[in-house]
Amino acid sequence: MDTARELGRFLASRRARLHPDDLDLPKGVRRRVPGLRREEVALVAAISVEYYTRLEQGRTGTPSRDVVDALARACSSTNRSGATSAISPAGP
């Protein structure tokens, strides 16, 4: 299985399950899709929106362990196993 696509599916599914209230973010005026916006996840994970979008779309290489940890925290994943099983980080 393509690990980049698997990670992308994981990130998209987690993003869809979360709501702004879960991360103390303002709800905003209008939401076209359920869950968080990509911009909101990127903000909480402290990565660029462009990089997050490439990760979710499976268009990038393996992210570092720090990025995986930040995304796991941003997606309220108390168990990193979902994120880490989707990828093999490229180093410490």
CB 56 within 8 Å of CB 11 = yes
Using DSSP's 3-state secondary structure scheme, residue 17 falls into helix
Above pLDDT 90, what percent of the chain?
A: 39
Domain boundaries, the chain: 3-86
Please give the average per-residue pLDDT across 59-70, as a whole number.
90
Alpha carbon distances (Å) from 49 to 9, 35, 44, 46, 55:
17, 16, 11, 9, 10
CA terminus-to-terminus distance, the chain: 24
> Residue 55: its pLDDT value, please?
95
Q: Is the pLDDT of residue 7 over 60?
A: yes
Global pTM reads 0.77
| The dihedral sign for the CA sequence 26, 30, 34, 38 | negative
CB 51 within 8 A of CB 42: yes
| Position 66 pLDDT exceeds 80 | yes
How far, rounded to the nearest angstrom, does the alpha carbon of residue 25 sit from its chain's CA centroid?
16
* 75 has pLDDT over 80: yes
pLDDT of residue 48: 97
CATH class of 3-86: mainly alpha
- The mean pLDDT of 54-75, rounded to a whole number, is 91
